[in-house]
Structure formats: C-alpha cells, structure tokens
Amino acid sequence: MFSFAFVIREIEIDDFWRAGLPLIDVRSPGEFARGHIPGAVNIPLFTDEERARIGTLYTRVSAEKAMTKGLELAEPRRQWYLEESRRAAPRGEVAVHCWRGGLRSRSFARHLRENGFEKVVIIAGGYKAYRQHALAFYENPLNLRILGGYTGSGKTEILGALASRGEQIIDLEGLACHKGSSFGSIGCGCQPTTEQFENYLFGAFRETDPCRPVWLEDESHNIGGVNLPLPLWLQMQKSPAWFLRIPREVRASRLVKEYAGYGPRLLTEATGRIARRLGGENCTKTLELISGGHYQDAAMILLSYYDKSYERALRLHSCGDVREIITDCIDPEKNAALLLSYCGPAAVSIRKQAAS
C-alpha cells in the first residue's frame, strides 16, 4: 500500500498549534474514545480488533509478520483513507499522529503525500507526547481565582456572567458534563473519560492569558466520575477564594426551578445515592416529600446535608485566603458584579482557615 517516496517532516506539539493545521488521529476507535487531542478527526488505520491482532503478531511472532498483516488489512481501505482525509483537510495541508509517532502515522502520512496532499507533517512523539505535555502543564504555577458557595448558589451562571464582563473563566462542570453532586448527572449528557476531561481542560487553559487570573468553581477532587489533575486541584486549594453565602431558602427555591421538571424518579434515585450520609430519618422524609411533590421542603433537607459537607471541604483551602460575601441575591449578573467589587485591593479577607 505505502511506499517511501516522500520524507515526512516531524513537528513538535507547540509548533503544530502555531501552524493551525487540521489534525488526523489514525489510532483505533477505542484508543480515540479513551482520549484524544481536542479537534482531532479520527480516521483509524485499523479497527480495535485488527490492532489487537497485529499487536499479538508483533509480540508472539515477529515485527515483520505484524507489518505484513498491517499492510494486508489496510490495503482495501486506501481510497477510503484519502476520501476521509480530504473531508478533514480540504486544503491538502494536515498533521497526522498515532500513539508515539511511529509506523502508523508515518505510513498514513506518506500515503496522503503521494496522493495529492501538499503539506503533511506528523506530531513528534504522537499522542503520548501530547499527554506528557498536557499533564506537565499543571506543575507550573497558575494564576487562579476560586469561586465558592453552597450548593444552589448558581456558581456556574456567575462564571458565565464574569465571562461576559471580560474575565477569564473555565467551566469545570461543563467540561466534565456533571454538576458535581449526587444530582449532578441530571440534565447532563454522558461524561467523558478522565483522560479526555484532562485533554479538554488543558485545551481550555491554552486559550487563556497566563498573565491574567482564571476563575474556576470550587470543586472536590472528583466531578462525578472524572477526576481533576491532582497538581491542579492542589493549586486550587492554595489559591484565593471568594465564598458566596446565600440563604438556604433562596437556594432551595433556585434548585426547585432547576430540577423539579425532571420528575420524582430521577430525584428519588439521586437521593438514594446519598441515603447513608443523609441518615435514615432524613432520607425517608426527603423521599416522602419528593413523592408528594413538596420539592421546596425536600430541597431544604438536602441542602442541610450539602451545606455541612461544603463547610468541611472549605477548610482544605490551606492558604487561609477565603473571602466571604454575604448576600440574599440569586441573580448571577448582580452577584458577578458584587464579586468583582470584592476583588480589588481594598477587599479584606474576613475568614482565616487557621481560625476555623
């Protein structure tokens, strides 16, 4: 299938971003699903099953037999590779990568070059090099501002309002497709893998100006089924935080508007997941209230549990710089303006964790 008429140039991942080329990931569908560079198009050289067969030949027989089998399997798809690649890169300029920038990406790149593509490069080190680059990013000091507040404070909406005012924000829950609590999957799609969440997160940080602060919502180490990179989470705990203290009744009303429309079944299931932590009496009462459509009263019981849990988590901010903002307002635009008014040099920390 492939010849060696063209020498394919390698570029480092930073050079690829500067070049702005479309990106083709030739790994198998399973590899791509576990994690990929955001924006990459998957045109798999082999299926998952074929890749497994080739790998078995490589380890149990020989590299030569594995290569022969690979060429045999790829041959019938020559035209399909070209057609898909032209859709992904209609200008005939593209970057290609596999796991380590090895035979798969080089063979695919040469095939494109020999069939009309004007510029084809491969990512040096492949996806593995990208992952190393992405995870190493969080070892560097980051300029973070943390938005805290009890459950139901509307922190995600406040982040949106901050963005409309020109602040840099990253919506961790949006990237994770989860709102963080037992109820967090309601209304959200399927979560990415932790690996892909890390890739999305790194992509979001790459879009920010490192000289300006980035607002993040205060989160535990995990958001639903995905985990924050530990170095990032540790930096979040040491970064200055602003904590919105909004009355429980106000927050309960907001949560009823957000969740009641999903019906009692999903709310009952979510409550059941925290039954042990709620306690038997509170759980039974909450389930009765949900069943009867008394969502405000159910929310008040649930918030009593979540507020205590959040107070414990708040003590993890080891720098002690947690600034409390007391308001009875739930409007995200007003709270964003209020928050920014507390961020100037005159804003004084009113809570020290050492005294908690």
pLDDT tens-place string over residues 176-202: 999 988 888 998 889 999 999 999 999
Q: What's the CA gap between 222 and 239, in Å, rounded?
A: 18
Q: What's the CA gap between 239 and 162, in Å, rounded?
A: 18
pLDDT band at 345 (very low <50, low <70, confident <90, very high): very low
Q: Above pLDDT 70, what percent of the chain?
A: 93
Which residues, 6 or more positions from 347, have their beta carbon under 8 angstroms from its beta carbon? 323, 341
The active-site residue, picked from 98, 177, 319, 329, is 98
Q: What's the CA gap between 28 and 192, in Å, rounded?
A: 17
Regarding predicted confidence, which is higher, 253 or 62? Answer: 253
pLDDT band at 5 (very low <50, low <70, confident <90, very high): low
**pLDDT at residue number 349:** 38
**Residue 24 pLDDT > 80, yes or no?**
yes
Local structure of 54: helix, strand or coil: helix
**pLDDT at residue number 63:** 83
**pLDDT at residue number 64:** 87
Q: CA separation (Å) from 46 to 109, 152, 158? A: 15, 47, 45
**pLDDT at residue number 166:** 96
Predicted model pTM: 0.89
Length of the chain, in residues: 356
Regarding predicted confidence, which is higher, 261 or 43? Answer: 43
**pLDDT at residue number 147:** 96
**Residue 13 pLDDT > 60, yes or no?**
yes
**pLDDT at residue number 102:** 85
Query: In sequence order, which ranges of the chain are alpha helices (DSSP H)?
Result: 13-19, 29-34, 48-60, 63-74, 78-88, 103-113, 126-136, 155-164, 172-176, 194-206, 230-238, 248-259, 264-272, 275-278, 280-291, 295-314, 332-341
**pLDDT at residue number 356:** 37
**Residue 294 pLDDT > 60, yes or no?**
yes
Mean pLDDT of all residues in 314-337: 84
Regarding predicted confidence, which is higher, 326 or 63? Answer: 326
**pLDDT at residue number 79:** 96
**Do the beta carbons of residue 145 and residue 216 sit within 8 Å?**
yes
pLDDT band at 318 (very low <50, low <70, confident <90, very high): low
pLDDT band at 355 (very low <50, low <70, confident <90, very high): very low
**pLDDT at residue number 344:** 62
Mean pLDDT of all residues in 33-38: 97
Q: Angle 289-179-177 (CA atoms, 0-180°, nearest 5)?
A: 130
**Residue 326 pLDDT > 60, yes or no?**
yes
Mean pLDDT of all residues in 233-242: 92
Regarding predicted confidence, which is higher, 58 or 226? Answer: 226
**pLDDT at residue number 181:** 85
Q: Above pLDDT 90, what percent of the chain?
A: 75
**Residue 352 pLDDT > 70, yes or no?**
no
Mean pLDDT of all residues in 292-314: 89
Q: 98 catalytic, yes or no? A: yes
Contacts by 303-308 with C-beta closer than 8 Å and gap 24+? 303/150, 303/151, 303/152, 303/248, 303/251, 303/252, 303/255, 304/248, 305/274, 305/277, 305/278, 306/150, 306/151, 306/181, 307/150, 307/151, 307/248
Mean pLDDT of all residues in 146-167: 95
Name the DSSP class of 14.
Answer: H
Dihedral in degrees, nearest 10, Cα atoms 221, 226, 229, 232: -50
* Of the candidate ranges 72-81, 196-205, 282-291, 340-349, the one whose mean pLDDT is the lowest: 340-349
Mean pLDDT of all residues in 4-14: 81
Local structure of 227: helix, strand or coil: strand
* Of the candidate ranges 65-79, 115-129, 149-163, the one whose mean pLDDT is the lowest: 65-79
